[in-house]
Amino acid sequence: MLVATELPRVFVLKEKEQEIRLDDPEPKWSVQAVLNFYSNNYPALTTAKISRPTIADDTILYRFETVIGTKG
């Protein structure tokens, strides 16, 4: 018998060379909504991009990649 299960989502933010794992606040939310939710606590997320999901350790892993640019 084949049973389908939904994998939990995990979000990773790299800040100051350290990876921070963020839990999924609400599985029904879009990934963008989760990014917006955490941007209140992590201001760098206001300009972050969302990587393509990867599957690792029976979770769906999303990386929030901050974009640090120069003015000019």
How does pLDDT run across 15-50, given as a tens digit for each residue? 878 899 999 999 999 999 999 999 999 998 998 999
- Cα→Cα distances 11→17, 43, 54, 56, Å: 16, 16, 11, 12
Token couple for 37: 């939710």
Handedness of CA 40, 66, 22, 60 (dihedral sign): positive
pTM: 0.81
Q: What is the DSSP letter of 53?
A: P
pLDDT value, residue 16: 79
The confidence score (pLDDT) of residue 69 equals 55
Cβ-based neighbour number of residue 22 at 10 Å: 19
pLDDT band at 70 (very low <50, low <70, confident <90, very high): very low
Q: How confident is the model at residue 68 (pLDDT cuts 50, 70, 90)?
A: low
Domain spans of the chain, in order of start: 9-65
